[in-house]
Chain A
Amino acid sequence: MCLGNYLMRKAFIVVSLLYFTVLAIIIIYFVLQNNVETLLSIFFSEEIRFAIVLTLATSITASTLSLILSIPVAYSLANYSFKGKKAIELLTDLPLALPPILLSFALLLFLARNPIVKFLESMGFELLFTSYAIVIALLLYITPEVVKILYSAFSSVDRRYHMVLKTLGYGDFQSFLKVDLPLSAKGIASAFIVALARSIGAFGAILLVSGAIKGKTETLSIAIFLNWQGGNMDAAIAAATVLILISLILFYIFERIKK
């Protein structure tokens, strides 16, 4: 092997190892900050339990809704040619480029000034600064990525399977059920896990619409923020540890699905 190739290979490997070592040190250092007894008592505190339940409930709801919404969008983009397709592709990409806080701010203004929302409020249905607002914000935040993953999954299905099914007398919807859904199952599961992971850790995207209200719209990421702001570092660390645990579980599931 020539010297130039050898040096390049070694240098690149060293950079990779350094990066992941630093990352691992930070996470291990953070976990070591926990005092197990204090951590356990905080885990079972009402505030953290509420945050866990709210985080999981809003994340699962938003991820499920996002999947339901994204399947037809991604399928259309992957299989059909239609007017406005380019515009939809651009619009799905746009939120990926926007800072999450901007999304939250735009949604806050939209909901605050929307006559339908005002009408609902007059009927006693609160939307802003509630878990519903969190679900809506999460839906907007995660859907572009879900569409991207599903688009890739649907695009990889050999279109000749559709031709085979058509010549066996099956229509488009039956073909979708018998071919696309099963053959894209891994992609759909991956999209759901990624959506869940993004939702569970979302902060900027939900901060403004949720109002970050303790005990009402306090998800785990908001609990970290509120407790850090109030100087309660143990509670902040406990909330963060729960987030790490959930993320690791999701990461494990994601890796299993990939295989």
Chain B
Amino acid sequence: MIGIYDLEVVRGSFRLKISRLEIKDNEYFVVLGPSGSGKTTLLNTIAGFIRPVKGSIFIDGINVAGLPPEKRGLSYVFQDPLLLPHLSAFGNILLGSHGNVDTALKIAKQLGLDDLLEKYPSQLSRGQQQKVALARALAYNPKALLLDEPLSSLDRVSKEAMIDVLLRLKGKKTVIHVTHDLTEAFMLADRLAIICKGRVLAEGTPDEILHNPPNEKVAKFLGLTNFFKGKARVVGKDKSVVKIDDDVIIHVYGEYRGDVFLTISPSDIFVAKTLDSVTAANKFEGVIAKIVPRGVVDEIRVKVGSSTTFSVYLSKKAVKDLGLKVGNRVVIAFKKSAVIVNKI
């Protein structure tokens, strides 16, 4: 297990502070955060390249905070493959296995690199280089594998191939994977931590974080744009209502009182033409204020009241079929189960 306790790292004016973070054996742990959040600083501190001002880092029960990187038994894969250019792919993997040919061949076979072993880094594609870098790191048989944005410089096809390889590591190797990519994080993580401005904002399984974001920052980072503060009151067994701006009342499951904030995923809201055609507990009439293209979907911003706006994701086909345009009056609706409630 890797345990990080009361860690404080200072880099110029930036300060990383982590009170407690534990990564279990053979767990695929993702550190997710925007650029400059401190995730690479955290990884470099675990690896031993940065000395913390205070705190301890335990690996298998031993505090390694004072040990140099080569004594920590961790291997690191960078954003760039950093293969030694004068060595073949096999030579690079052998570097990881410290000359053990059997280990190097076994790892190469596992990662499907058999046909590339004689090739030099300049003869390999970026994706193949990154696979060799991963094989080199694994050949060292590290206590944990540290991955710093290993997919960010790959094209789509190489990325998918690499994700397949990383998925195969799940349950077999302790991995700490740093990324800013939500999809990547949620696809790979057993558990993840969201880090921002040097602080851990949330920690848990992807489901826990996605369905129960602990605060507004996390919700926004996750792209949950429907975020409202309001006052809750219990109206029955396992039933509450929350009054938000414009006297809009939202029905939720659970018994809540006082100040709360609500999060509703834009994908959980649907659009209808009339109120009567909807059976969901929460339904409102509004006006389409804006339609924003978001790749394969469109974001429809529907204004309900004077200051409350809901974002709804609809496929482009649905927008066309429903003939939605800015200024149209529409009905939006969502189930009680779509509302995530957090006490403030």
Contacts and interface: CB of A to CB of B under 8 A. Distances in A.
A161 interface: yes
Contacts of B146: 167
A160 interface: yes
B69 interface: yes
A171 B71 CA distance: 9
Nearest to B71: A169
A164 B85 contact: no
A168 B49 contact: no
B137 to A, nearest CB: 7
B320 interface: no
B194 interface: no
B68 to A, nearest CB: 7
Interface in B166-207: none
Contact of B140 (A160, A169, A182, A183): A169
B150 interface: no
Contacts of A168: 70, 75, 95-96, 98, 136-137, 140
Contacts of B68: 166
A57 interface: no
Contacts of A158: 82
A170 interface: yes
A178 interface: yes
A179 B73 CA distance: 20
Contact of B76 (A164, A183, A185): A164
A248 interface: no
A163 interface: yes
Nearest to A163: B49
Given A163-B76, A178-B95, A170 B82 contact: no
A167 B49 CA distance: 10
Contact of B78 (A164, A170, A179, A185): A164
A160 B78 contact: yes
Contact of B70 (A167, A178, A182, A183): A167
A160 B85 contact: no
A163 B80 contact: no
Contacts of A161: 82, 84
Given A158-B82, A170-B70, A179-B84, A165 B49 contact: no
B122 to A, nearest CB: 14
Interface string B55-87: 000000000000011101111101010101110
Contacts of A164: 76, 78, 82, 136
Nearest to B80: A160
Given A168-B75, A183-B85, A163 B69 contact: yes
A160 B98 contact: no
A205 to B, nearest CB: 36
A164 B76 CA distance: 7
B332 to A, nearest CB: 50
A167 B69 contact: yes
B66 to A, nearest CB: 15
A168 to B, nearest CB: 5
Contacts of A166: 48-49, 68-70
Interface of B: 47-49, 68-70, 72-76, 78, 80, 82, 84-86, 95-96, 98, 136-137, 140, 142, 146
29 contacts: A158-B82, A160-B78, A160-B80, A161-B82, A163-B69, A163-B76, A164-B78, A165-B70, A166-B49, A166-B70, A167-B47, A167-B74, A167-B75, A167-B76, A167-B137, A167-B140, A167-B142, A167-B146, A168-B70, A168-B75, A168-B98, A168-B136, A169-B140, A171-B70, A178-B84, A179-B84, A183-B84, A183-B85, A183-B86
Given A166-B49, A166-B69, A168-B98, 8 more contacts: A160-B78, A163-B47, A166-B48, A167-B74, A167-B137, A167-B142, A168-B136, A169-B70
List 4 A-B pairs, minimum CB-CB distance, nearest first: A167-B76, A166-B69, A166-B70, A182-B86
Interface of A: 158, 160-161, 163-171, 178-179, 182-183, 185
